[in-house]
Amino acid sequence: MAFGFKKIFGGKGDNMSGDEYLEIDVSQEKKENKVVVKLFNLNDYEDATQILNALREGYTIAIIDMRILKKKDPIELKRAISKIKKTADALEGTIAGFGENVVVVTPSFAKVEKHMPKPKEDKKPSMDDF
């Protein structure tokens, strides 16, 4: 479907003799830019590609369970995590490990707080406080 640009907005002279049209594709899909948190299992090195593709889309926060690859082949795990880290750095995202088996990777608009605040100690009053 085409709409006449000059007919809608008016042009110099408004002499409708020109054949200037702006083509608008009304069937084009509208893609929502929502943040998606995706869970991934890193079972082998090739699974890193699927994770990287999701991160490159720009709206994915990846939570990666690396337990299986850690048990199966620690060297491959190190290669896969290194590849994911390089991509996260290139995308200006962050990467952080939680516990021994989980890694979280975020795009540039999100940040993983790597340092957890220390819990406040319940201090019992002593004679020095009075």
- Domains of the chain (ranges; CATH) run 36-106 (3.30.110.150)
Q: Which of 64, 7, 57, 66 is nearest to 39 (CA)?
A: 64
The 10 Å Cβ neighbour count of residue 109 is 11
Q: What are phi and psi of 10, to 5 degrees?
A: 75, 140
* pTM for this predicted structure: 0.62
> What does the pLDDT average to over 49-68?
92
Please tell me the distance from the alpha carbon of residue 35 to that of residue 93, in angstroms, as a whole number: 14
For residue 113, what pLDDT is reported? 77
pLDDT higher than 90, residue 3:
no
Residue 65: pLDDT band by 50, 70, 90 thresholds? Answer: very high
pLDDT in tens, 71-97: 999 999 999 999 999 999 999 999 998
pLDDT higher than 60, residue 14:
no
Q: Are 72 and 95 in contact (CB under 8 A)?
A: no
